[in-house]
Amino acid sequence: MRTDLETDWEIPPTPAGLTGRLERFMGPGKSPAESVVEGVGGALCALLLAAGVWSSDALRDWSAVQIVIVALAGLDLVGGILTNATNAAKRWYHREDPRARRGRLVFVSAHLGHLAAMGLLVLDGDWAWLLGNAGLLLAGAVVVEFAPLELRRPVAMAVWTSAVVVNLFWLTVPDALLWFAPLFFLKLLVCHLVPEAPLRRRTAADDRGSVADGLGRAAAERGSADD
């Protein structure tokens, strides 16, 4: 048993209005360290992705609309992978709420729009690629979401690996877009759907609080016994 770690499922309150909706979308209670990793890590990954696409010379053949779609898709996937991997997102999207499962599946299904934009506009109407990946996404999401809880992580990795291999050999794209399928399915099937525990390291303050709580409970029990 790890005594130096604990899970933190407590979701802090969020404000009303647009600010609250944005916090809930990103995951309420994000720590400053998580925000730094998202910002710095996201910027680094986005720069690497942009450099890779630039070096492929694909930009010469793409229209302005295609460039914008590819850029937005790259930023969304990079940012989404990091955001969905945070403790804050895990707490929110996997909270004990009967609506949480529906919310996760709706979130995944909304990304059919990404596939449509890529398949129809960037890949010039590649319906085989679009429908193939739509099927992989929806079937994979159902398999992961309804897998036994203790098996959900390895099931997600098996589904992700299968989707990537299918894309590498049968749903092929130009070299400049080889990153899309691995990042797309990583964000949705692994980072978003796997209910990993929001772990944090215990501190001395936590230990003092536990001792104080224990003393308080003991005192309350003695008082009840005296009554």
Output the pLDDT for position 203: 79
Cβ contacts of residue 172 below 8 Å, gap of 6+?
none
Burial class (CB in 10 A: 0-12, 13-18, 19+), 55: exposed
Contact 160, 147 (CB under 8 A): no
pLDDT of residue 115 exceeding 80 = yes
Q: What is the pLDDT of residues 5-52, one digit of tens each?
A: 999 999 999 999 999 999 999 999 999 999 999 999 999 999 999 999
pLDDT digits (tens, 9 = 90+) for 160-193: 999 999 999 999 999 999 999 999 999 999 999 9
Q: Residues of 120-142 as b/e, b for ≥16 C-beta within 10 angstroms?
A: eebbeebeebbebbbebbeebbe
Of 56-65, 106-115, 141-150, 200-209, minimum mean pLDDT range: 200-209
Helix 127-145 and helix 98-110: axis angle, to 10°?
170
pLDDT at 213: 53
Residue that is written with structure tokens 């005594």 in the block: 3
Q: What sign has the CA pseudo-torsion 209, 96, 85, 70?
A: negative
pLDDT of residue 67: 97
Task: Give the confidence band of 1 by pLDDT, cuts at 50, 70, 90.
Answer: confident
Average pLDDT, the chain: 92
Q: Are 160 and 208 in contact (CB under 8 A)?
A: no
Is 72 in a helix, a strand, or coil?
Answer: helix
Is 144 a residue whose pLDDT tops 60? Answer: yes
| Per-residue pLDDT at 109 exceeds 70 | yes
* Residue 60, token pair as written in the block: 């010469």
Burial of 74 (0-12, 13-18, 19+ CB in 10 A): buried
Provide the percentage of residues in the chain whose pLDDT is more than 70: 89
DSSP annotation of 97 reads -
**CA 72 – CA 114 distance, rounded (Å):** 10
Binned at pLDDT 50, 70 and 90, residue 206 comes out as low
Q: Is the pLDDT of residue 211 over 50?
A: no
Question: Which among 134, 44, 48, 137 has a CA at the least distance from the CA of 82?
Answer: 44
- Is residue 29 within 8 A of residue 11, CB to CB? The reply is yes
**Per-residue pLDDT at 225:** 53
Q: What are 165's two structure tokens? A: 């291999």
